[in-house]
Amino acid sequence: MSTPFDRELEERLVRYCSIDTQADAASPTSPSTDKQYDLLNVLVEELRALGVDDVQLTDYGAVLATLPATVSSNVPTVAFLAHVDTAPAFNATGVKPLVYHNYDGGDIRFPDAPDLVLSPAQFPYLAQKVGDDIVTASGTTLLGADDKAGVAIVMAMVQHLLAHPAIAHGPLRICFTPDEEIGRGVHPQLPADLKADIAYTLDGAELGEIVYETFSADMGVVQVRGVSVHPGQAKDHLVNALHLAAKIVDTLPNARLTPETTAGREGLYFSLPHERQRGGGRAAFRPARFERDGLQAHGDLLKQVCATIQAAAPRAQIECTITPQYRNMRYWLEDDMRPVELARAAARLIGIEPTSTPTRGGTDGSRLTELGVPTPNLFTGMQNIHGPLEWISVQDMARATELCLKLAELWSGTHGNFTQHNGDASEAATGTAVDRLG
């Protein structure tokens, strides 16, 4: 089913995805890559062209802007966020977005990778999108709908609200962040600069998904330095850093808890190559659990294993550093579920039944919620992210845009009565929820 937002969202997504914004975890800067400014600067100019007056690009690479309230009552300030960076996990240079209008339900093949197949038999959610407009990359890159779909949705919402000033809403804050994919999207200054009472990230998947539970995760960086010697004279002299890193992985008793072997509420403890250096290298280990309890023990175990391998290879240098990344947003949202309840109400008012499946990862909202800005995550439609089979339905993006518009209206307290269903807490009126938060 077509919507008034389809063509705008398609155009924005294709244009934004064509800009390389891949993050780099090895870089200490914020943003971690200068090329993220290629999109950040575009968004600054587009917001100003739409008539937004207070657009700001912070020194840590976040775009901030305000849509003034169209109601006179004192209601909460609501922020909508998306991140501009793409994941380091797969090639993001030279993205060529392809649009399959009125998808026919068959296999999708990729012109730059003829053996690659996106099949509804393998991915059942795609089978539900017959008749939709499907966007993919060309086969050799990721698409970058994570999270340029979110960026396009927020921009479409802004344009619609500015073109229709009669729509009731309170003060809205717009924010585009860098480096979410490497766990650094929420700069320490961002919560104060955002100036919002509550927020929503547009960084979710299936239609209707409203997430208020994520992993808790730390980052463990292991630096292994061996001794480099020519292979011809290596006996009793060479210390192979790669072999030592492999021993660390093999020694971890729960190293089998990898993404490809776990699901649901199972935790993770997995490693990935991070950086290769002369005579050594770095690997990133990411312990992750839904519960905070036990997370420190994972990090302590990694340090103990590194110390054991170091003792057996005294000529090597092995360093292990554990850094907190984010925590399960549920720990704070479960004390006040109104941002989630209002999002569910907004979904039902536009004809979508909401779902809330825990996310096996984190969002900018995980950190923002921990820092005092309750921030559930909303769907965009993105699928198979971080790889060449990534795809998205334009119509899912359009429904997400409608959800944001309805949320802005509900938080203004002007919509009237609603009733929550399926075991959710009930509110006699939207205004009641807004008044209690404001």
Active site residues: 85, 180
Q: How many CB atoms lie within 10 A of CB 334?
A: 12
First to last CA, the chain: 37
Taking the C-alpha atoms of residue 198 and residue 72, their distance in angstroms, rounded to an integer, is: 19
Taking the C-alpha atoms of residue 2 and residue 4, their distance in angstroms, rounded to an integer, is: 7
Which residues lie below 8 Å from residue 126, measured CB to CB, with a gap of 6+?
118, 119, 120, 134, 383, 391
Amino acid identity for residue 110 in this structure? F
Taking the C-alpha atoms of residue 254 and residue 31, their distance in angstroms, rounded to an integer, is: 34
**Three-class SS string for 118-182?**
ECCCCCHHHHCCCCCCEEECCCCCCCCHHHHHHHHHHHHHHHHHHHCCCCCCCCEEEEEECCHHH
Taking the C-alpha atoms of residue 331 and residue 121, their distance in angstroms, rounded to an integer, is: 37
Q: What is the enclosing helix (H) or strand (E) of 295?
A: helix 295-312
Identify which of 24, 423, 408, 416 has the alpha carbon closest to the alpha carbon of residue 198. Answer: 408
Taking the C-alpha atoms of residue 358 and residue 362, their distance in angstroms, rounded to an integer, is: 10
Taking the C-alpha atoms of residue 379 and residue 363, their distance in angstroms, rounded to an integer, is: 12
Pair of tokens at residue 210: 């409203």
Taking the C-alpha atoms of residue 124 and residue 121, their distance in angstroms, rounded to an integer, is: 6
